[in-house]
Amino acid sequence: MTMDFHESGMNQGADGAPSSASAYPVPPVGVQAPFPAPPDIPADEPVIPRMFDILTHPTNIPHYVAHLRGAKWSTIIWLVIGIGIFESVVTVIASQVSGSSMGNIPGLSQLPSSERADAAAWASLSGNHGNLLTAFASFFLASGLYWLIAKLLGGQGSFLQSTWLFALIWAPISAAATLLGLIPILGVVAGVVLVIAQVVLTIFAMAAAHRLTVGKATVVVLVPLALVLVLVICALGVMAAILAASLGH
């Protein structure tokens, strides 16, 4: 599949997103359009219907293109913050239900009751901050790598366009993975399925955002995953070497 965008037709607004459906100009008489025109989605469309539309049209590139209108950094930031808070709340509730929360902190039981409450509160606050930082770091690291690799492959989209479409995929899948992760065994299976789904959707999102072929967009998404896999293997190798050396003594 080749993304043959008409350069003159992809007009951009001040926010870096296509300004109208003119991104797909009407072809001359007798010339077939390279792909269907995108649906007419208003720039002020709420974010949840946008997510639902993409999730229900996972391989329909024109739908991704239509959602480039209305891309906003403020919405992206709030999505990431919302997922971080949601993961924190779910983690706290799960730990309370399982009875494995603050009572398992080493040395906590030896503290006076007044200090124990303060220590538990600080531990909970630190965990929540950790979830927020992890959400921000993982999201923007992945988005930045996608954008950089896409540019190296001739991508034309802006960082805002690329990050916007990625956010519309990442947020609902992250929320679903967090909830399903609470279910033993099923949560693991669902997590694998959701990771695969995110990879597939992100490929089509990068194709739409950067006007790339699906083949090049696949490279954009799989290269960071390959880098992560190499880093994990290297880390496991180092840990194995350290463990072998310690046992040898």
Distances (CA, A) of 66 to 11, 39, 89, 143, 192: 13, 6, 33, 20, 29
At 162, list the tokens.
């690329």
- Owning domain of residue 197: 40-104+116-248
Q: What is the pLDDT of residue 164?
A: 97
**First-to-final CA distance of the chain:** 58
**Grouped pLDDT means (10 residues each) for the chain, 249 residues:** 41 46 43 60 91 93 92 95 89 70 47 48 49 86 95 94 96 93 87 94 95 94 91 89 78
8 within domain boundaries? no
Q: Give this prediction's pTM.
A: 0.73
How far apart, in whole angstroms, are the C-alpha atoms of residue 164 and residue 171? 11
pLDDT given at position 130: 58
The domain total for the chain is 1
What's the pLDDT score for residue 26?
Answer: 42
Nearest CA among 157, 139, 165, 188 for reference residue 55: 165
**88 closest CA partner among 183, 163, 166, 174:** 174
Residue 23 lies in a domain: no
Residue carrying structure tokens 């709420």? 46
The answer to whether residue 19 is domain-embedded is no
Residue 69 domain flag: yes
Let me know if residue 45 belongs to a domain: yes
Query: Contact at 8 Å (CB) between 178 and 172?
Result: no
Partner residues linked to 55 by β-bridges: none
Angle at 36 between CA 32 and CA 41, to 5 degrees: 145
Quick check: 140 and 166 in contact, CB under 8 A? no
Report if residue 149 sits inside a domain: yes
In-domain check, residue 54: yes
Residue 185 lies in a domain: yes
- What is the helix, strand, coil percentage profile of the chain, to 5? 70, 0, 30
* Per-residue pLDDT at 51: 96
Angle, CA of 200, 39 and 215, to the nearest 5°: 30
